[in-house]
């Protein structure tokens, strides 16, 4: 038997064609879709309303490549990181972050990452491949079950802040989000989904047109091109003017504010020049700024700035009426925090 596709790689038109070719009725498409996307079954034999004949046919032609949990790590702050093995043995990580009001799922979009942010451990991994839409979806389905089990409630928020650059796999990300929103399935509201990107202008324009109604977070980290290129070298190909242009377009189409993610690094972007540059950029497209704590990744050139510098940034931005928050890191002790996902079988740096 040759290579069998996951049945979820077929869209409903392709599935319909398959059924018709095999002398089965079209309405089977809806039944199968209900089992795989809404109920998330891992085996055709569990599809109780279809005949044995059809089950055998599905089995012969397709697979359901469900991921396997290899290991989980629990942080002292309640965060749980999962190491997940895909059908081809590649590993990814996904994180469950509980708090009083919410349970956030942080999911991956690629195996590894092709970007080169100097402060991010994931960038040291090579990008092996993009995740299929069902692999993105499966992380959420799995984390949702875990959330119900451990925290007695469903996931409330989804962030694409795991491994990879979601906009370099945007077709699968978009498909997965559409499946996450299915009313009879996971039933997620787009408002609770945040795509985090390092800033790929062309794709920002594409997804603006997709009418997903999701939130967009942009990993800015510096509003000065030269500094940005030093810490995120790939950004040389995507100058800030282009990025901002694409964000203007995003806002025009979606009317949804941008969230800028910003780490203030000691001695790199913690001076007044960088503060003023950030203020200037924030005035172009309606936005909020989220200062994020730098999570150590064993890289000596990067350090979190002094508290006074953070305060200074906050004071200047607030004076200008720019909404800003500071996000405390979660799951650092188990290397589950932003930038720390690297399939490392150890705890702490």
Catalytic residues: 93, 338
> Judged by CB, which is closer to ligand SAH: 64, or 107?
107
Rounded Cα distance, 87 and 85, in Å? 7
Q: How far is CA 172 from the centre of its chain?
A: 11
User: Based on the number of CB atoms within 10 Å of its own CB, is 308 exposed (0-12), middle (13-18) or buried (19 or more)?
Assistant: exposed
Cβ atoms of residues 274 and 291 within 8 Å: no
Among 198, 235, 254, 314, binds ligand SAH (CB under 6 A): 198
- Torsion-angle region of 211 (φ positive above 0: left; ψ -120 to 50: alpha; else: beta): left
Which listed range, 27-35, 58-66, 172-180, 287-295, lies at the site for ligand SAH (CB under 6 A)?
287-295
Rg of the chain over all Cα atoms, to the nearest angstrom: 21
User: Based on the number of CB atoms within 10 Å of its own CB, is 276 exposed (0-12), middle (13-18) or buried (19 or more)?
Assistant: middle
> Judged by CB, which is closer to ligand SAH: 32, or 214?
214
Minimum distance, C-beta of residue 188 to ligand SAH, in the bound complex (Å): 19
219 scored as a contact of ligand SAH (CB under 6 A): yes
Show contacts with ligand SAH in window 100-119 (CB under 6 A).
117, 119
Among 278, 292, 305, 322, binds ligand SAH (CB under 6 A): 292
Residue 254 dihedral angles phi and psi, to the nearest 5°: -100, -20
270 scored as a contact of ligand SAH (CB under 6 A): no
Minimum distance, C-beta of residue 217 to ligand SAH, in the bound complex (Å): 7
Q: Which helix (H) or strand (E) holds 274?
A: helix 272-282
Q: 3-class SS at 62?
A: strand
Minimum distance, C-beta of residue 235 to ligand SAH, in the bound complex (Å): 11
Tell me which residue has its CB nearest to ligand SAH: 339
Which listed range, 38-46, 97-105, 196-204, 275-283, lies at the site for ligand SAH (CB under 6 A)?
196-204
324 scored as a contact of ligand SAH (CB under 6 A): no
196 scored as a contact of ligand SAH (CB under 6 A): yes
Cβ count near 118 (within 10 Å): 16
Summarize as ranges the residues that interact with ligand SAH (CB under 6 A).
Answer: 117, 119-120, 161, 165, 196-198, 219, 261, 263, 292, 294-295, 297, 338-339
């Amino acid at each position: 038997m040759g290579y069998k596709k996951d049945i979820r790689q077929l869209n409903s038109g392709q599935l319909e064609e398959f059924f018709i070719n095999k002398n089965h009725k079209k309405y089977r498409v809806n039944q199968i879709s209900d089992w795989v996307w809404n109920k998330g079954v891992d085996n055709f034999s569990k599809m109780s309303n279809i005949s044995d004949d059809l089950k055998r046919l599905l089995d012969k032609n397709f697979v359901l490549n469900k991921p396997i949990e290899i290991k989980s790590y629990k942080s002292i702050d309640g965060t749980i990181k999962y190491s997940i093995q895909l059908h081809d043995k590649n590993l990814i990580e996904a994180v469950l972050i509980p708090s009083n009001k919410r349970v956030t799922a942080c999911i991956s979009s690629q195996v590894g990452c092709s970007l080169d942010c100097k402060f991010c451990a994931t960038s040291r991994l090579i990008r092996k491949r993009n995740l299929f839409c069902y692999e993105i979806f499966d992380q959420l389905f799995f984390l949702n079950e875990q959330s119900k089990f451990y925290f007695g409630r469903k996931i409330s928020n989804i962030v694409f802040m795991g491994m990879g650059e979601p906009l370099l796999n945007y077709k699968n990300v978009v498909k997965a989000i559409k499946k996450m929103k299915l009313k009879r399935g996971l039933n997620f509201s787009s408002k609770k989904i945040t795509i985090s990107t390092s800033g790929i202008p062309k794709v920002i324009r594409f997804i603006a047109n997709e009418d997903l109604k999701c939130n967009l977070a942009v990993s800015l980290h510096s509003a000065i091109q030269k500094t940005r290129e030093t810490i995120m070298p790939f950004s040389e190909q995507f100058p800030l003017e282009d990025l901002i242009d694409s964000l203007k377009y995003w806002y025009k189409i979606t009317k949804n504010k941008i969230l800028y993610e910003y780490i203030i690094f000691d001695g790199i972007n913690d001076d007044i020049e960088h503060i003023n540059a950030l203020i200037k950029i924030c005035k172009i497209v309606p936005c909020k700024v989220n200062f994020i704590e730098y999570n150590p990744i064993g890289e000596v050139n990067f350090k979190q700035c002094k508290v006074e510098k953070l305060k200074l940034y906050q004071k200047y931005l607030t004076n200008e009426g720019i909404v800003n928050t500071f996000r405390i890191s979660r799951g650092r002790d188990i290397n589950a925090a932003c930038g720390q996902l690297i399939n490392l079988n150890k705890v702490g740096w």
